């Protein structure tokens, strides 16, 4: 066993011993700095997930989120996680306007990047619940993490990263004993989408592609299971059939070179600028200039940051969706008619 493996095993053993000792005495009180009275749930609860079921016996104070956007749902339900993973190399308590006030001055420990988790850091936080909804957690990782604390893994019946935001919110709500509060949040967001659709019935007549380019000569069209396309369809837009035909259920993108730009020639095309040169690279491609969507100026370039509209639809959570609707719907409505 490697030195790292020995250290992790020692940490897990020590933590399990401390939990056993704690179980012999009175139950620890809820940390009100992390879980205010209005955010306390009803326990015990049992949650079904990808790797079976997990029972949460009592109110957890110390929660670690390992899904890329899971912390948003936890924050929306009134609890601040003590640990989270990094996704945009921005640290989850960074500058996203939809979470700044909720994090306040309580910064979580970063315990990994995407699906690469640091077991030592997680164990050192002594979590009472670990959540991994928008994640690609493997069974081996689940088994190891379950030695530290109860783990609620990805929603069942969906591919990794393919569960809708509603289901992930419900899973988090169940795990926190706040199922009804989660449903109320979902209803509120559904009402916002309904309002946007009612104000812009023209969206329902239009096909949509959301695309990105991460390097020269390579382009991606997001599939219907990706949060960005889920956001667009909930605004009323129709997925572009050629992209659907090329989709792999296990992947959230169709990756092509410019020779297949025909897959992008929808009624509306939204590009996410992953870097400052993305728009220039796309527009410089001679094939792209011949597309109807380009010639008709029905393409829209939005940024991941400054403002973080792209980040908001990538998160596509109960916290980021209101911001995304407010920022993006006027831009979509201003695109010239087909």
Q: What was the pLDDT predicted at 7?
A: 52
Q: How many CB atoms lie within 10 A of CB 179?
A: 18
pLDDT in tens, 189-221: 999 999 999 999 999 999 999 999 877 788 999
Q: What was the pLDDT predicted at 23?
A: 39
Phi-psi category of residue 236: left, alpha or beta, with phi > 0 → left and psi -120 to 50 → alpha: left
pLDDT cut 90: percent of the chain above it:
77
Q: What was the pLDDT predicted at 116?
A: 95
Q: What was the pLDDT predicted at 15?
A: 46
pLDDT surpassing 50 at residue 265: yes
pLDDT in tens, 214-261: 777 889 999 999 999 999 999 999 999 999 999 987 789 999 999 999
Q: What was the pLDDT predicted at 98?
A: 95
Helix, strand and coil in the chain, % to nearest 5: 40, 20, 40
Q: What was the pLDDT predicted at 25?
A: 34
Q: What was the pLDDT predicted at 164?
A: 96
pLDDT bucket at 3, cuts 50 / 70 / 90? low
Q: How many CB atoms lie within 10 A of CB 14?
A: 12
Residue whose C-alpha is closest to residue 169's, from 192, 152, 146: 152
Residue 178 DSSP code:
-
Q: What was the pLDDT predicted at 313?
A: 97
Q: What was the pLDDT predicted at 93?
A: 61
Q: What residue ranges in 42-175 does DSSP mark as E strands?
A: 45-49, 52-56, 63-65, 83-86, 109-113, 116-117, 129-131, 151-152
Interhelix angle 179-199/165-175, nearest 10 degrees: 160
pLDDT surpassing 70 at residue 78: yes
- Mean pLDDT value of segment 64-74: 97
Q: What was the pLDDT predicted at 261?
A: 94
pLDDT in tens, 20-62: 333 333 345 789 889 999 999 999 999 999 999 999 999 999 9
- Mean pLDDT value of segment 143-172: 97
Q: What was the pLDDT predicted at 22?
A: 38
């Amino acid at each position: 066993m490697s030195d790292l493996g020995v250290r992790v095993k020692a940490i897990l053993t020590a933590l399990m011993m401390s939990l056993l000792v704690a179980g012999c005495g009175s139950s620890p009180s809820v940390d009100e700095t992390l879980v205010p009275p209005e955010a306390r749930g009803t326990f015990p609860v049992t949650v079904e997930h990808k790797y079976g079921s997990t029972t949460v016996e009592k109110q957890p104070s110390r929660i670690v989120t390992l899904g890329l956007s899971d912390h948003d749902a936890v924050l929306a339900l009134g609890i601040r996680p003590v640990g989270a993973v990094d996704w945009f190399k921005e640290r989850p308590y960074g500058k996203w306007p939809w979470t700044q006030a909720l994090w306040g001055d309580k910064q979580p420990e970063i315990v990994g990047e995407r699906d690469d988790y640091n077991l030592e850091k997680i164990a050192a936080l002594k979590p009472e619940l670990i959540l991994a909804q928008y994640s690609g957690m493997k069974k081996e990782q689940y088994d190891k993490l379950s030695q530290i604390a109860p783990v609620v893994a990805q929603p069942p019946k969906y591919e990794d990263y393919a569960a809708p935001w509603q289901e992930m919110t419900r899973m988090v709500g169940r795990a926190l004993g706040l199922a009804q509060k989660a449903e109320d949040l979902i209803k509120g967001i559904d009402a916002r989408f309904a309002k946007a659709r009612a104000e812009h019935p023209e969206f329902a007549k239009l096909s949509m592609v959301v695309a990105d380019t991460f390097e020269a000569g390579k382009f991606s069209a997001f599939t219907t299971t990706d949060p960005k396309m889920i956001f667009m369809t909930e605004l009323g837009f129709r997925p572009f059939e050629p992209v659907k035909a090329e989709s792999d259920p296990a992947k959230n993108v169709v990756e092509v070179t410019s020779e297949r730009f025909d897959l992008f020639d929808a009624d509306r095309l939204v590009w996410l600028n992953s870097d400052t040169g993305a728009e220039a690279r796309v527009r410089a491609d001679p094939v792209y200039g011949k597309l109807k969507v380009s010639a008709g100026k029905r393409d829209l370039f939005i940024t991941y940051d400054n403002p973080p509209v792209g980040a908001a639809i990538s998160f596509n959570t109960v916290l980021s969706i209101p911001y995304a609707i407010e920022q993006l719907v006027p831009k979509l409505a201003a695109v010239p008619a087909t």
